[in-house]
Structure 1
Amino acid sequence: MTRPLVITDCDEVLMHMVVPFAEWVDAEHGVLFRIEDASFAGALKRKECGTPLEAAEVWPLLDAFFRGEMARQYPIPGALEAMAAIAEQADIVVLTNVGPEHQQARIEQLALHDFHAPVIGSRGGKGEPVRRLIEQYQPSVALFIDDLAGHHHSVAQEAPDVWRLHLVGEPAIADKIAPAEHAHARIDDWAAAQDWILARLAENVPAPAPEPV
């Protein structure tokens, strides 16, 4: 009998990212990070003049952060404890959009907090990698956790039988992000999220098909 499978994002789900990133770009690059809408790029502004950074300037900053500053990140309250409880019932895979080049650093980062699970550093929509993981693990039931609505849409298209939990663990941005239309639930507190996840695993049934429009 195959075990359930939980596929989870990392940044703002397991680990704080925007707050340590904001502190770093302020101190080292003279850039303020202020989320005023759903646009990550639009939240980055030059301190001296307040103009937003160009989109092409954003990824090099993110890349530099993940390349050398991941030690600044710290766990979302309750996340790793919940993962330990969930691991008793399910296999866990971390699917993170830091890209293949930062995959090993992410493994090492999580290991420092005594969290050990397979990590996949992906790019783009997560639907296809989730589908491949389902094909690989053949789980009895599968569940996906992410803070970005676009990934829930992608998974809904590619692997509709997977339960989808929208979780934004960073309070600084949670109230600025609307619930993902293609998620089955929105829960930002890990104690409540753990209960919801374990209930889905115990039910052991696929996620319901979307209602016809």
Structure 2
Amino acid sequence: MTRPLVITDCDEVLMHMVVPFAEWVDAEHGVIFRIEDASFAGALKRKECGTPLEAAEVWPLLDGFFRTEMGRQYPIAGALEAMAAIGAQADIVVLTNVGPDHQQRRADQLAALGLDAPVIGSRGGKGEPVARLIAEREPPVAIFIDDIANHHRSVADEAPGVWRLHMVGEPAIADKIVAASHAHARIDDWTAARDWILARIAEGVRAPEPALA
């Protein structure tokens, strides 16, 4: 029988990203990172004048970080222990928006920490890759975990029978991010999140789909 499936993001769910990224862009690029609104680009400002970076300047910095600085990242408290407990009951796939270029680096990063799970380096909304995984694996129950609200909306549209957990594991930004309206739960602590996920697995039922108007 096909096992349950947990599809999880990585940055700010399994691994700290914004804090090591902020330290790096400060030290190496003269850029400060301050979460003051919902825009990642708007949070990046030049130290010398305080002006926000243009959107076109942001991806090269992120790409550079993932290309050479992933060693600065470290696990969210309790994440790897929770994944070990969950992995005893379900298959785990890491769906991360680092893109195909950094997919293997991410897999190597997690494997070095003891999480040897398939990694998909996607771009854009996560609804389509989640729907493909569900179609391929046909799990009796599936759970999606991500820190970004738009991905929960995307999954709700493309794979509505998947349980959706909104998690922001980085305390520096968690209180600045509103709970995703398309998620079934918002939990930022891995002990509580593990229990919620294992409860969904034990129940073994699909998430309720929205009633048609």
When normalised by structure 2's length, the TM-score is 0.99
Take 2:204 and 2:63, find their aligned partners in 1: how far apart are those partners? Answer: 39
TM-fit CA distance, 1:212: 5.1
| 2:40 alignment counterpart | 40
TM-fit CA distance, 1:104: 0.4
TM-fit CA distance, 1:38: 1.1
Q: Deviations for 1:156-179, whole angstroms, at most 9, x for unmatched residues?
A: 000000000000000000000000
Matched, 1:69 2:69: yes
Take 1:148 and 1:211, find their aligned partners in 2: how far apart are those partners? Answer: 24
Q: Secondary structure at the match of 1:165?
A: strand
Q: Deviations for 1:68-119, whole angstroms, at most 9, x for unmatched residues?
A: 0000000000001000000000000000000000000001111111110000
| 1:97 alignment counterpart | 97
| 1:86 alignment counterpart | 86
Matched, 1:109 2:112: no
Take 1:7 and 1:127, find their aligned partners in 2: how far apart are those partners? Answer: 11
TM-fit CA distance, 1:35: 0.4
Q: Secondary structure at the match of 1:23?
A: helix
TM-fit CA distance, 1:136: 1.1
Take 2:112 and 2:199, find their aligned partners in 1: how far apart are those partners? Answer: 29
| 1:205 alignment counterpart | 205
| 1:119 alignment counterpart | 119
Q: How many residues align?
A: 213
Take 1:140 and 1:211, find their aligned partners in 2: how far apart are those partners? Answer: 21
TM-fit CA distance, 1:211: 4.4
Take 1:192 and 1:32, find their aligned partners in 2: how far apart are those partners? Answer: 33
Displacement over 4 Å in runs of 4+ = none
Q: Which runs of 5+ in 2 are unaligned?
A: none
Q: Deviations for 1:45-70, whole angstroms, at most 9, x for unmatched residues?
A: 00000000000000000000000000
Take 1:10 and 1:95, find their aligned partners in 2: how far apart are those partners? Answer: 7
Take 1:4 and 1:112, find their aligned partners in 2: how far apart are those partners? Answer: 25
